[in-house]
Structure 1
């Protein structure tokens, strides 16, 4: 006896449909409550939306990341990397990757990044209007990669242009013409990184990039694959997260005031909560290598699975008041960075960078206001991002302790 497929009610828009991408949460909420392991007839994918089941998808070796490549509707393959390999190859590539993005590599960058954040805020027009995506997120992400890669000031515009162009490769369902442009941009990015790495190494520059390049566990191609992944998988999501975060934060004036006075630990809690509600990477793909019984249903071998992280992050079985912003939420087992062996290697960098920017921004500009009306979400599926987020800085900046937003703590 076969069971009739479960379909979304007519009043809900499919989360992958153009009209549903702006607000996929109602559809995911219904699926999580009514069919948490859902076979989607339109895409042929299995959508897993409950937190416990998503954790299993991320951790269980019967879910293959290497075969998850098949989820993409495009015919181009991503280069071998930590993202597209399973153990033991995954572990072999990830260990050296920590030289670039691990906590020990990222921690020494804090002082320099703090200075970069202050310089970025110094350039904002007092009492003017800015776009949080273009004027905060992108220059911040570029400054982060300048520190990681030892990029000279004269190279920043070129690097940012390459990073933006190559980031189209994040979206698995992008149109063929844009996919072709993305492939070309990724090749140009790899060529640029190859040349820059050679120059930085020859000049004796000591940054995380040259530490990775000196590791003899990797071939040159594998090392460049890790750099390419770090840019494509990290530059744009970090840039877009700032707009997403401010979209959530600014309507809640109590939260704004709380974050303005936050110490480092409180700021990182806030970043995790903002990621929980609107993470730039909304899902991750796997393919089952065997039959798997989850709490919400059974997956056959060869099932093309999406762990819908953005749905899991609002699961009421795990998060009290799941749609509410609680900056002090702890514990916060969100899946915005994935989980299991593929837990995002750049998580410490994202937490550190956003925790540097957001408190300083709202502390310096306490009257900061976002736009009224519905947010302008981009049509792309990955990353989840706003096309733009205009912000009114609201008067002259506040200076504390002789410098903008000096929190009195060490970051």
Structure 2
């Protein structure tokens, strides 16, 4: 099969280029409308941008996640995990992983997480702006993992430092020097989790981590791989989702007022809509094992494919007013958590946590405002995140 590359119009910036990363949506919009299965000559990747085609990439067994890491612009291999394996190995790892992150494991944490959220809001200063990323998102994510892992208070700072350092491994196109630091940090994180798991079992802690560690379906190394993935693939995206959400929400004052009064079901609908528009994980990688015909075009065997979830989530064939924020959008078949066998195991945790924080935040501080200028997006591709989001709480009720 010969490929004639389709080029973006000159007025559009490539979404992977440094100048295009802050706002990739215009380029993705053009690709979705004009070349939804697009061969990108610069990266040698196929960019799939339509919702129906992305859903096929995520669900069809002809798209291999195990081979998908070959799209990484790095020479280091990721360890075997739920992220980088195909069925049946994927299912063998995922079933025990539900003991850590599945709905039955997460649901009982709700009361404790609500108390953690209230304590976090109690600590916020009202006499100066706070950073939604550093002062809300990161402490919230750390509090969540403290509940999952049974971390003592004196270990939280160390855990957060390790989680932040290891999260560089999320970005498939990070420069080599940072990639080397990320590998080292992932090793340090695994060593820490190994020691903490031993202590938690000896102390008889009854937390999701010890439920996973006591399960005999995984070897110790595999169990630690699940824990490592849960941190690298979960801590930073959860932390960054709060800043991304507030960036979208705060300019829409009627939406802020509605969310302040939202019940649990309405809050979860709102969280899904905010994730639809700016999910921290913007794409996922696969490799075709044979020729595949999608609605938008044909892929050859061995094609290195990115399902561009952030483009699929704004597909007008699926979403009315796709660029608009509609907190009550229902149904909302967004792909912010992926789909198919690799659907994000932590999705219930993210929904529950964000649905606890956001209504409490805007309810307690109804006059809060975000910055007036353009958002300060980080240059990394994964996760999609803000460097900072200063917000003025505007006093307390």
> What TM-score bracket applies, with the shorter chain setting the length?
over 0.9
Checking the alignment, whether the CA contact within 8 Å between 1:74 and 1:179 is kept in structure 2 is yes
1:277 aligns with 2:239: no
Unaligned stretches of 5+ in structure 1? 393-406
Quick one: structure 1 residues 2 and 211, their matched pair in 2 at CA, closer, same or farther if it must change by over 3 Å?
closer
Aligned partners of 1:263, 1:127: CA distance in 2, in Å? 29
Checking the alignment, whether the CA contact within 8 Å between 1:263 and 1:409 is kept in structure 2 is no
Quick one: structure 1 residues 240 and 408, their matched pair in 2 at CA, closer, same or farther if it must change by over 3 Å?
closer
Deviant stretches of 4+, over 4 Å: 407-411
Quote how far apart the aligned CAs of 1:158 are. 0.3
TM-score by length of 1: 0.95
Quote how far apart the aligned CAs of 1:127 are. 4.1
Aligned partners of 2:140, 2:300: CA distance in 1, in Å? 44
Quote how far apart the aligned CAs of 1:126 are. 2.2
Quote how far apart the aligned CAs of 1:48 are. 0.1
The CA deviation string for residues 327-355 of structure 1, in whole angstroms up to 9 with x for no partner, is 00000000000000000000000000000
1:390-405 matches, cutoff 5 A: 390-392=390-392
Aligned partners of 2:187, 2:395: CA distance in 1, in Å? 42
Quote how far apart the aligned CAs of 1:381 are. 0.1
The CA deviation string for residues 220-258 of structure 1, in whole angstroms up to 9 with x for no partner, is 000000000000000000000100000000000000000
Unaligned stretches of 5+ in structure 2? none
TM-score by length of 2: 0.98
Quote how far apart the aligned CAs of 1:125 are. 1.0
Aligned partners of 1:391, 1:216: CA distance in 2, in Å? 47
Quote how far apart the aligned CAs of 1:373 are. 1.2
Quote how far apart the aligned CAs of 1:408 are. 24
Aligned partners of 1:212, 1:408: CA distance in 2, in Å? 43
Checking the alignment, whether the CA contact within 8 Å between 2:37 and 2:298 is kept in structure 1 is yes
Quick one: structure 1 residues 45 and 203, their matched pair in 2 at CA, closer, same or farther if it must change by over 3 Å?
same
Out of 123-132 and 56-65, give the one that drifted further.
123-132
Aligned partners of 2:233, 2:73: CA distance in 1, in Å? 18
Partner secondary structure for residue 376 of structure 2: coil
Partner secondary structure for residue 377 of structure 2: coil
CA RMSD of aligned residues (A): 2.6
Quote how far apart the aligned CAs of 1:130 are. 0.2
Aligned partners of 2:216, 2:369: CA distance in 1, in Å? 50
Checking the alignment, whether the CA contact within 8 Å between 1:309 and 1:335 is kept in structure 2 is yes
- Equivalent residue for 1:408? 394
Quick one: structure 1 residues 315 and 250, their matched pair in 2 at CA, closer, same or farther if it must change by over 3 Å?
same
Aligned partners of 2:349, 2:190: CA distance in 1, in Å? 22
The CA deviation string for residues 95-134 of structure 1, in whole angstroms up to 9 with x for no partner, is 0000000000000000000000000000011243100000
